[in-house]
Amino acid sequence: MILRLVFARVVDLVFVLFCVSVIVFLMIRLIPGDAVAIMLGANTEITPERMAELRARVGLDKPIVVQYAHWIGPALTGDFGRSLWTGRPVIDEIVVHVWPTVQLTFLALLLGAGLAVPAGCLMARLRGRFADVAMRIVTVIGLTVPNFWLGIVMILMLATLAPTIQALGYVPFAQDPAGHVGRLMLPAAALALPILAHLSRLLRSAMLDELQQDYIRTARAKGIAESAVVYVHALRNALIPFVTSVGILTGYLLGGAIVIEQVFAIPGLGRLILGAISERNYPLLQATILLVTSGFVTVNFIVDLLYMAIDPRVRA
Amino acid sequence: MKKLARNKLLVFATAIVVLQLLVAALAPLVAPYDPVAQNVLARLRGPSTGYWLGTDQFGRDVLSRVIHGARTSLAVSVAAVAAALVMGGALGLLAAYYRGWLERIVMRVMDVLFAFPVLLLAIGVVAVLGPRASSAAIAIAIVYTPIFARLLRGPALVICESDYVVAARAIGAADWRIIFVHILPNLMSVVLVQTSLLLSAAILVEASLSFLGLGTQPPTPSLGLMLSEGRNFLMISPWSAVFAGAAILLLAFGLNLLGDVLRDTLDPRLRGSP
ipTM score of complex: 0.85
Q: Among A159, A205, A274, whose Cβ lies nearest the Cβ of B272?
A: A205
Cα angle A147, A153, A157 (rounded to 5 degrees) comes to 145
Determine which of A98-107, A188-197, B36-45 has the lowest per-residue pLDDT on average. Answer: B36-45
A299 to chain B: closest CA residue: B115
Instruction: Output the pLDDT for position B204.
Output: 93
Q: How far is CA B97 from CA B85, B91, B100, B105, B172, in A?
A: 17, 10, 9, 14, 15
B121 to chain A: closest CA residue: A289
Taking an 8 Å cut-off on Cβ atoms, the answer to whether A262 and B260 are in contact is no
B270 to chain A: closest CA residue: A205
Taking an 8 Å cut-off on Cβ atoms, the answer to whether A259 and B212 are in contact is yes
CB pairs under 8 A between A and B: 142
Higher-confidence residue of A149 and B229: namely A149
Instruction: Output the pLDDT for position B271.
Output: 47
| Tens-digit pLDDT profile for residues A75-133 | 787 777 777 667 788 888 888 888 889 989 999 999 999 999 888 888 888 877 787 78
- For chain A, say whether B16 makes contact (Cβ under 8 Å): no
Taking an 8 Å cut-off on Cβ atoms, the answer to whether B274 and A129 are in contact is no
B contacts of A152 (beta carbons < 8 Å): 227, 231, 234, 241-242, 245
Instruction: Output the pLDDT for position B208.
Output: 92
Best mean pLDDT range from A59-63, A242-246, B243-247: B243-247
A contacts of B231 (beta carbons < 8 Å): 152, 263
What CATH number has the domain bearing residue B17? 1.10.3720.10
CB contact at 8 A, B6 and B265: yes
CA–CA dist B147, A86 (Å, integer): 39
Rounded to 10°, the helix B184-211/B239-266 angle is: 160
For B47, the domain range is 2-270
Report the gap between the CA of A63 and the closest CA in chain B (Å): 21
H/E element holding A105? helix A90-125
Average pLDDT over residues B155-164: 87
Taking an 8 Å cut-off on Cβ atoms, the answer to whether B248 and A137 are in contact is no
B2 to chain A: closest CA residue: A129
CATH class entry, domain A98-315? mainly alpha
| Tens-digit pLDDT profile for residues A204-227 | 888 888 888 888 888 888 888 888
* % pLDDT > 70, chain A: 91
- For chain A, say whether B10 makes contact (Cβ under 8 Å): no
A18 to chain B: closest CA residue: B112
B196, B204, B240, B249: best mutation site toward chain A, by most A Cβ within 10 Å? B204
Q: Which region, left, alpha or beta, applies to residue A28 given φ > 0 means left and ψ of -120 to 50 means alpha?
A: alpha
**Is pLDDT at A25 greater than 90 in this prediction?**
no
Instruction: Count how many domains chain B has.
Output: 1
B contacts of A208 (beta carbons < 8 Å): 272
CA–CA dist A203, A236 (Å, integer): 11
CB contact at 8 A, B64 and B26: no
For the full predicted model, state whether its pTM sits above 0.90: no
Determine which of A22-36, A39-53, B16-30, B243-257 has the lowest per-residue pLDDT on average. Answer: A39-53
Domain residue limits, chain A: 2-75, 98-315
**Is pLDDT at A293 greater than 50 in this prediction?**
yes
The torsion angles phi and psi of B236, rounded to 5 degrees, stand at -90, -45
Higher-confidence residue of B270 and A129: namely A129
CB contact at 8 A, B111 and B54: no
CA–CA dist A257, A195 (Å, integer): 13
CB contact at 8 A, B55 and B62: yes
Average pLDDT over residues A122-146: 84
**Is pLDDT at B29 greater than 60 in this prediction?**
yes
